Chains A and B, each alone.
Chain A
Amino acid sequence: MSFKARWFRLFTLTSTFLVWAFIAAGVGTVLVRGVPLLPLAFRLPELVFAVKLSLLTSSLSTLLCLLTALPVAYALARQSVPGQGFIVSVLRLPLTLPPVVSGVCLLLLFGTTPLGRALADLGLKLVFSVPGIIVAQYFVNLPGLITVLQAAIEGVDVRMEYVARTLGCSPFQAFCRVTLPLIRNQILAGLILTWGKTLGEFGAVLMLAGATRFRTEILPIAIFLNMSTGDMEALMVSATILILIAFITLGAFERLGIKMY
């Protein structure tokens, strides 16, 4: 290997190691202190509450994301949507919008408009409430799932759906019997990714649902509340739980990522 090639190799490897060390040091600092405290999560009522509420709201918002992202992704991938460019830009907006701004948008929409009042009259109060957590997590993470599913559907040759139709399937049946099974792994990967991200959603939840102990206290909110009151143990445990979930999510995602069709 020439001197230049060796130098370049050394440079890229050193960069990689330094970046790795930076991330590992940050995450490790919390894990080292948090993991021994983990049993507390089952004993402190506040943490038990936060873990349960986090799991409940994330699972529901992920399910909602899937149910709405599938038809939208199909339309974007397979049909010519009128004004496609503009529609897609708006649909993707929450992806680049700071979550706290998404939260402000939702707060104003549900807190100050007739729509919000109508929903509240129907018994669906979204401001400073648990349903508000779900809506905030949903709003921020929906575009990501749409993008993943759209790419997945575009990757399936549309002519297989056509063949299915000449064999008697309606467009919906062709989608269910051909395209859906072919993108099964991408759907699973998208779900895990979305679930992991909804668990960590903070800014939008804080704005719309607020930070009330034992009411809208999901894990990220618990970190925020315990930070402001200086309760370091509870904070460390909450952070550790979220880090461990992130590890599991990443592992599952990569395992699925390899086994694509």
Chain B
Amino acid sequence: MKVKLTLEGIAKKLGDFSLKEIFLEVKPGEYFVILGPSGAGKTVLLEILAGIYPPDQGKIWLGERDITHWPPEKRRFGFVYQDHALFPHLTVEGNIGFGLRDSRLNPLQRKQKIRETADLLGIAHLLSRQPHTLSGGESQRVALARALITRPPVLLLDEPLSSLDPPNSGDYSRSSKGCTSSSAASLSM
């Protein structure tokens, strides 16, 4: 799916905070980086893109389709939160495979796919671990694997470099590039 993602005058009020009139366009295969001070609304904007909050105003387009009112489960954009939000009751393998539950894969194929994705991100040795035993960088890669495994059309990364040291972060953008060559756009901040 090679389409662009367009935001047309997105506005949102959340309590005292308000996000005003955001216009932007991300072309297929492009990385788009949003910078801003703490509390500027980067996370909220990504959540609006993912479909978690409806915007008060404006439209979101995926190619020619108006997806403003699509729920997150219909958009299926990959999302990696800045604190990774891994599911504490599942192992690393359970976390990565979470999005494959309703796919047509049989258990063996599913295991295979989890392993491939984990290999790509260098976390295959962690598959049987519990999330609370992971380091910051490891848990971030698990969250990335969990988002990538369903081949999302758009990948939303909140603070993607926050828990990685410099040599690692080179790897990281390489692997996310490899994985999303078929994706429309990667938004990352």
Q: Which residues of A contact B (CB under 8 A)?
A: 157, 159-160, 162-170, 177-178, 181-182, 261
Return 5 A-B CB contacts under 8 Å, by A number. Answer: A159-B85, A162-B52, A162-B85, A163-B81, A166-B75
Complex interface: chain A residues within 8 A of B47 (CB): 162
Complex interface: chain B residues within 8 A of A167 (CB): 76, 98-99, 146-147, 150
Of listed A163, A164, A182, residue having the most chain B CB within 10 A: A163
A182 to B86, CA, bound (A): 12
Q: Which residues of B contact A (CB under 8 A)?
A: 47, 50-52, 71-73, 75-79, 81, 83, 85, 87-89, 98-99, 101-102, 146-147, 150, 152
Q: Which residue of A is nearest B152, CB measured?
A: A166
Complex interface: chain A residues within 8 A of B81 (CB): 159, 163
Complex interface: chain A residues within 8 A of B76 (CB): 166-168
A179 to B83, CA, bound (A): 18
Of listed A157, A168, A170, A177, residue having the most chain B CB within 10 A: A168
* Of A166, A169, A177, the contact of B79 (CB 8 Å cutoff): A166
Given contacts A159-B83, A165-B52, 9 further A-B contacts (CB under 8 A): A157-B85, A162-B47, A162-B79, A163-B81, A164-B87, A165-B51, A166-B75, A166-B77, A166-B147
Q: Which residue of B is nearest A162, CB measured?
A: B52
Are B89 and A181 in touch, CB under 8 angstroms? yes
Which 5 A-B residue pairs are closest in the complex by CB-CB distance? A167-B99, A165-B72, A166-B79, A159-B85, A181-B89
* Given A162-B52, A165-B52: A178 in contact with B77 (beta carbons within 8 A): no
Complex interface: chain B residues within 8 A of A162 (CB): 47, 50, 52, 72, 79, 85
Complex interface: chain A residues within 8 A of B101 (CB): 168, 177
A157 to B50, CA, bound (A): 17
Q: Which residue of B is nearest A165, CB measured?
A: B72
Q: Which residue of A is nearest B156, CB measured?
A: A166
Q: Which residue of B is nearest A261, CB measured?
A: B88
Q: Which residue of B is nearest A160, CB measured?
A: B85
B65 to chain A, nearest CB (A): 18
B157 to chain A, nearest CB (A): 12
Complex interface: chain B residues within 8 A of A166 (CB): 50-52, 72-73, 75-79, 147, 152
Are B73 and A170 in touch, CB under 8 angstroms? yes
A205 to chain B, nearest CB (A): 38
Are A163 and B150 in touch, CB under 8 angstroms? no
B83 to chain A, nearest CB (A): 8
A215 to chain B, nearest CB (A): 46
A163 to B88, CA, bound (A): 13
Complex interface: chain B residues within 8 A of A261 (CB): 88-89
* Of B75, B88, B98, the contact of A164 (CB 8 Å cutoff): B98
A166 to B75, CA, bound (A): 7
B179 to chain A, nearest CB (A): 15
A62 to B21, CA, bound (A): 51
Complex interface: chain A residues within 8 A of B89 (CB): 178, 181-182, 261
Q: Which residue of B is nearest A164, CB measured?
A: B98
Complex interface: chain A residues within 8 A of B87 (CB): 160, 163-164, 178, 182
Complex interface: chain A residues within 8 A of B152 (CB): 166
A168 to B78, CA, bound (A): 10
Complex interface: chain B residues within 8 A of A160 (CB): 85, 87
A159 to B82, CA, bound (A): 11
Complex interface: chain A residues within 8 A of B146 (CB): 163, 167
* Of A157, A168, A182, the contact of B102 (CB 8 Å cutoff): A168
A154 to chain B, nearest CB (A): 16
A182 to B76, CA, bound (A): 23
B67 to chain A, nearest CB (A): 13
Of listed A159, A162, A167, A178, residue having the most chain B CB within 10 A: A167
